[in-house]
C-alpha cells in the first residue's frame, strides 16, 4: 500500500476581488480591494485519517473546503489528490476524480432540493456518473445507501421536509457516498444539529470511515467534536495555518497563543482550577490585516518583531507552528486541557 498522503496541499491561496463597481472607483477615486480568504496554506492528509481545520468564523476554513472540491478556483498553489494535480485534469479525467472526492455541506436544510424525493436526491450522483443501469438498479442502490446511514428503504419516497435535521444530514451523507468516494470534505456537518443528534451523525461517520477506509477533511469550530473525530488538527487564523499537530499533542501541549486561547474558551466543566486566558479582542478586518503576525494585536506574548515580521510555519518534531514567541522560547509552559464530550 502506498505511503504517500492521499491529499497534498501546497501554497493554496484564494484572493477575492471585493472592489467597488468600476464607475464608483473612477468617480470616487477608490483603489481596488482584494481580500485573502486563504493565504499560502499547506498540509497533507494520510489515507484513512481525519484532519480537522478549526478556527473562528471567517478564518478561511470553508473556503479551503470549497477549493478542494472545485467550487472555487485557487488563485495560487496546488492540490494533489492521489498524486494527480486537480487543476491539470480536464474532461473525463476530472469526472473520474470527482467521483472519488465528495463533500458534505453544513446546512442539511439548504443542501437538499425540497422539490425532489429522497430517491432523486441520493440517485443524482448515480445518474450523473452513469454508475447504475435501469430504474430497478437505481432504487436498490438508493435503498442500500439509506440503510448504511441508519434510514429505512421506504424513506426514499419521502421529501426532505418530512425529516428532522439529523435525518436530513444522513440523507446528505448517503448522497455523498453514492459514488463510493475515498475522500470526504465535511464542512461543519453537525453544527446545525442538536447535541444528541450530533453524536449520532458523528458515530455514523466514524463507522463508515472504518468500514470503507475513508479519508476526511473535517471543518469545525467545536473542539469537543474535533477531539472525537480527528487524528490531526490544523488551526487557522485570518486565512493562514498557525499550528498543525496530531490531536493528542495539540490538546496536551498547545503551542501557538491562538490555539491556547481557543482551548481556554472551552467551559471548564471539570472545575480543574487551571489558570485560563480569556479571549481578547476581535478578529481583524481581513481587508486590512495587521502587519507581521496577524494575531499580534490580540496576543499577550507579542513584541516588536511580531508586529513587523510574519512568522513562517516551522516543523518541530511532529508539530508545525508559526509563532516568533515559540521559536524564541518566550512562551510559558501550560497544563493540558480536556475538552468536554
Inter-CA distances, 241 with 31, 155, 223, 289, 304, Å: 28, 42, 16, 15, 21
Helix (H) or strand (E) holding 209: helix 195-212
- How many Å apart are CA 169 and CA 195, to the nearest integer? 14
With contact defined as beta carbons under 8 Å apart, do 32 and 19 qualify?
yes
Q: Is 100 exposed, middle or buried (0-12, 13-18, 19+ CB in 10 A)?
A: middle
| Residue 87: other Cβ atoms inside 10 A | 14
- Ranges in the chain, pLDDT < 50: 1, 271, 336, 339-341
Q: What is the number of residues in the chain?
A: 341
Which of 15, 68, 73 shows the shortest CA–CA distance to 43? 68
Encode pLDDT of 139-166 as tens digits: 999 999 999 999 999 999 999 999 998 8
Give residue 341's pLDDT: 46
pLDDT tens by residue, 238-255: 999 999 999 999 999 999
Dist. CA 56–CA 123, nearest whole Å: 35
Q: Could you give the dihedral angle defined by the CA atoms of residues 129, 133, 138 and 140, in that order, rounded to the nearest 10 degrees? A: -130
CA angle 71, 186, 176 (to 5 degrees): 80
Give 127-160 as a DSSP string.
HHTT---SHHHHHHHHHHHHHHTT--GGGGGS-G
Q: b or e along 290-324 (b: 16 or more beta carbons within 10 Å of the residue's beta carbon)?
A: bebbbbbbbbebbeeebeeebbebeeeeebbbbbb
Query: 316: which 3 cell numbers?
Result: 518541530
Q: What is the pLDDT of residue 340?
A: 45
pLDDT of residue 264: 84
The pLDDT of residue 276 is 62
CA 195 to chain centre: 19
Amino acid at each position: 500500500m502506498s505511503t504517500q498522503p492521499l491529499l497534498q496541499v501546497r501554497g493554496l491561496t484564494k484572493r477575492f476581488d471585493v472592489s467597488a463597481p468600476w464607475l464608483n472607483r473612477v468617480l470616487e477615486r477608490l483603489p481596488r480591494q482584494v481580500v485573502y480568504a486563504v493565504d499560502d496554506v499547506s498540509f497533507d492528509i494520510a489515507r484513512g485519517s481525519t484532519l480537522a481545520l478549526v478556527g473562528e468564523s471567517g478564518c478561511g476554513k470553508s473556503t479551503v473546503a470549497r477549493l478542494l472540491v472545485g467550487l472555487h478556483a485557487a488563485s495560487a498553489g496546488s492540490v494533489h489528490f492521489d498524486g494527480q494535480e486537480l487543476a491539470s485534469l480536464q474532461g473525463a479525467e476530472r469526472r473520474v476524480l470527482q467521483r472519488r472526492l465528495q463533500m458534505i455541506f453544513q446546512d442539511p436544510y439548504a443542501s437538499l432540493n425540497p422539490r425532489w424525493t429522497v430517491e432523486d436526491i441520493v440517485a443524482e450522483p448515480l445518474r450523473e456518473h452513469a454508475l447504475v443501469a435501469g430504474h430497478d438498479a437505481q432504487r436498490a442502490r438508493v435503498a442500500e445507501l439509506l440503510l448504511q446511514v441508519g434510514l429505512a428503504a421506504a424513506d426514499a419516497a419521502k421529501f426532505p421536509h418530512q425529516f428532522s435535521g439529523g435525518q436530513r444530514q444522513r440523507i446528505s451523507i448517503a448522497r455523498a457516498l453514492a459514488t463510493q468516494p475515498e475522500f470526504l470534505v465535511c464542512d461543519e456537518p453537525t453544527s446545525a444539529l442538536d447535541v444528541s443528534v450530533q453524536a449520532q451523525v458523528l458515530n455514523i461517520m466514524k463507522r463508515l470511515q472504518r468500514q470503507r477506509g475513508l479519508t476526511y477533511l473535517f471543518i469545525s469550530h467545536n473542539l469537543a467534536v474535533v477531539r472525537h473525530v480527528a487524528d490531526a488538527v490544523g488551526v487557522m487564523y485570518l486565512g493562514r495555518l498557525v499550528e498543525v499537530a496530531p490531536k493528542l499533542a495539540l490538546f496536551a501541549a498547545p503551542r501557538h497563543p491562538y490555539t491556547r486561547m481557543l482551548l481556554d474558551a472551552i467551559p471548564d466543566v471539570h472545575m480543574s482550577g487551571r489558570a485560563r486566558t480569556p479571549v481578547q479582542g476581535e478578529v481583524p478586518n481581513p481587508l486590512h490585516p495587521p502587519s507581521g503576525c496577524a494575531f499580534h494585536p490580540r496576543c499577550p506574548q507579542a513584541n516588536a518583531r511580531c508586529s513587523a515580521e510574519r512568522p513562517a510555519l516551522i516543523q518541530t518534531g511532529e508539530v508545525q507552528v508559526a509563532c516568533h514567541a515559540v521559536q524564541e522560547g518566550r512562551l510559558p509552559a501550560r497544563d493540558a486541557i480536556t475538552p468536554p464530550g
